[in-house]
Structure 1
């Protein structure tokens, strides 16, 4: 997929403001005002047109149609009527059969393997693994895979964010599972409900919808949007996933925002934040795929033992020193 032009990217950055704000608005179904980004629920309205009106400059409205590649929602930038899919446009996104948007703005797939864990990002003070679930297609040489959970390590803490297995999907039922340092985290079921542990005051989890969607933030370190979604019968029919009635394959769509990463950062997504990163993928391909699963595989969701692990390394570089200081500021103990 082609990258956005600088002018378009700047326009969207202006509209979205702080990183993942738009995702919170999507989840809480709060409409944006004319002249901003409109969130369109596609559902059965694939061919419907939506009108953008610029009330400030009094330009005539225009009609927009969600692109066919957007499965459930799309964004319409008013009043220009440029349309985008939620998972297409900014660094740090992972959606569906894991399709990432790297820090260089290019999209790529990383299929991994079902029932295994992979290092998504590893830095001196932060390590994030992802657990993959999947379905085997006998007609293909790989699994269909999705990210079911994240295992996040910082300082001496462990944070689990996952999608609970569910047979029949009910959008009103919360299937989000959270745990911090091996203790389950319970959040009230209303928008704005917030949890923050006393042992890591810079960490917070906030609901942006009554069920299934949260923003996880470690102040000055990362901000992650996590949304539990199923594989629908229509998804399965179109893509031949072979989903059965006993498992909806609930998984996570994710948005990542990182602060103060060192230039030694690595991992499936993390490597794209390095200043020396060279994208060797065929970005013009319909499905550019990043290989090297053996390089990123870990022995467990909280294990920092992938071949490119950086977690816990001490460095005298300015970037690493800054990252370590950031971690120390939001935890109750010195970074170990």
Structure 2
């Protein structure tokens, strides 16, 4: 009886709290409060349009409006992000706002790693004739293992990760790469679970954040049927709610995924690498080999570089180049020693007049002035 009274009091208190929140907000819901105050929050966050700003900064500018309207209620960040996504789908992207990096792009042969956010994609330039494949992998943990065995270089394949679902930056990068002149294949690797099937589907198909890809993404799996054929460890869990599954999944496997999953991590590192290499052999287009025009141009460029290096070496040896350098350094030695006595003060003064410079630039300028004074 005591518990029933306590429960009834809690329900009554919740109703009163909700009524008071509705009264203080003028009957408006959170979405309406966010959108109504968006222009003011954008102006505040951007310094009236002078600076770019992150989505999280915009959240903190909006939050006080929601708290005031709903009696101190906290604004959920994920809900806020969904409202912003819906708003941008209707009215276009918010100018000056960027989303923080949520994933990494790895270039084969160069070893370059790029934290992937909206700003990085806007500035991205594909390295020419370096890779003709790119794999989106749900798990970031496999990056190090694949790099360690030289997988990206062996298959001329870029690696791309985003924790969980592909971010809009990932989708934009796929579309951007698809518009370049060089041939490229797109692949997706994911867990054999309900969320994994949706990760592939939302990477390829349209969402509220982005329209569908303008390129075809090849689904490498892992799919449930293949996972069982590989005799991988299956996780079983209680089906408390319906889990969304991608449309391409057959009905019997859709039901299976409501209470079962197999993660990529069920494979050992050697097993995963072999599995992925087998997929590449089945679907990949082979190594990057440019056309004859590019290859001929590269050959001529290399020939010129080698010849120039050999000729320069001969000329330098014949002209006593090293001896001439030593003589010139001896000529400015006293001036250099004198400048070293007050080098920190001089560098500090130059940096104060040009604060965007690195300390090495003033040092270079001091040396240049000494050499010029001797001419």
Taking structure 1 as the reference length, the TM-score comes to 0.26
Which structure's residues are more often strand, by fraction? 1
TM-score, scaled to structure 2: 0.24
Whose radius of gyration is greater, 1 or 2?
2
The structure with the largest helix share of the pair is 2
**Bigger relative contact order (CA 8 A; separation at least 6):** 1
